Amino acid sequence: MSDKAQVAVSYDVDNEFFRLWLDKRMNYTCAVFDGTDDLDAAQLAKLDVLYRLGHVRTDSRVLDIGCGWGANLEYLGVDRGVREVHGITLSEAQHGEILRRDLPGVRSSCMDYRDYEPPVAFDTVMSICMIEHVVTPEQARAGESVARYRDYFHRAWRWSAPGAHFALQTILRSRAPRIPADIRELSWVTRAIFPGGITPRMEDIVAAVNPYWEIVEVRTRREDYADTRVMPMCSLEALWRNAIAF
């Protein structure tokens, strides 16, 4: 897991710096460009996709693990009128931005998700490109990925009500680059921009969700990542339903 100092390298640079090139809501992840080439509209479409995958209702209690600067919290609490929305981030700068927004029905916590104690049982859990920080490169090389992802999914399951849904978005790695320049660039990004993090493999996630969640739907959005001007890797959106419902 990326620690607080490593997260600060990635996200605590300066909120105004990120505001220069992110959309108006400050989403930092892949958008959905179905029928639009406008970044703000595409990011709104992404939030709508995850809202529907998570089966969110106005009376839902929703947890966003790795909630960033609060874009999804604002969408849920303000745009959708969801009664109770909770967010977790390890970034002090992101947490400060959420507090500045003063969003109705939203509570945020600045802490490691492993230290989180939920005040309620959640109907929906969301996580948008946070799972990349759950396993370090060293842990991945040591073969610990599945066990650590399974602990992550177990915690989300324990925090959820029976029949809850989990909407996940993540970048995936499916192959190792063979061109030396690509290897050097990827290594630099991992060490300098996102220290302590590594993107998961699809097969590791599939193995790790058991026995807590059932995978119901999976979508890939490689082209959307390229259009969002994020790393040209494969995006995954998944809907999981709490296995306790069956």
Q: Cα 164 from chain centroid?
A: 17
Q: Can you list the pairs that 39-46 forms with residues at least 24 positions away whose Cβ atoms lie under 8 Å? A: 39/228, 42/224, 42/227, 42/228, 43/71, 44/75, 46/169
Q: Which residues contact 6 (CB under 8 A, 6 or more apart)?
A: 195, 196, 197
Per-residue confidence (pLDDT) for residue 237, from 0 to 100:
57
SS3 letters across the chain: CCCHHHHHHHHCCCHHHHHHHCCCCCCCCCCCCCCCCCHHHHHHHHHHHHHHHCCCCCCCEEEEECCCCCHHHHHHHHHCCCCEEEEEECCHHHHHHHHHHCCCCEEEEECCHHHCCCCCCEEEEEEECCHHHCCCHHHHHCCCHHHHHHHHHHHHHHCEEEEEEEEEEEEECCCCCCCHHHHHHHHHHHHHHCCCCCCCCHHHHHHHHCCCEEEEEEEECHHHHHHCCCCCCEEEEEEEEEHHHC
The per-residue pLDDT string of the chain (246 residues; one tens digit each, 9 = 90 and over) reads 888 999 999 999 999 999 999 999 999 988 999 888 899 999 999 999 999 999 999 999 999 999 999 999 999 999 999 999 999 999 999 999 999 999 999 999 999 999 999 999 999 999 999 999 999 999 999 999 999 999 999 999 999 999 999 999 998 887 777 888 887 887 887 888 888 999 999 999 999 999 999 999 998 877 776 666 543 334 455 566 654 332
Q: What is the pTM of this model?
A: 0.89
Per-residue confidence (pLDDT) for residue 243, from 0 to 100:
46
Structure tokens at 235: 């995006």
In the chain the domains, ranked by start, together with CATH numbers, are 4-241 (3.40.50.150)
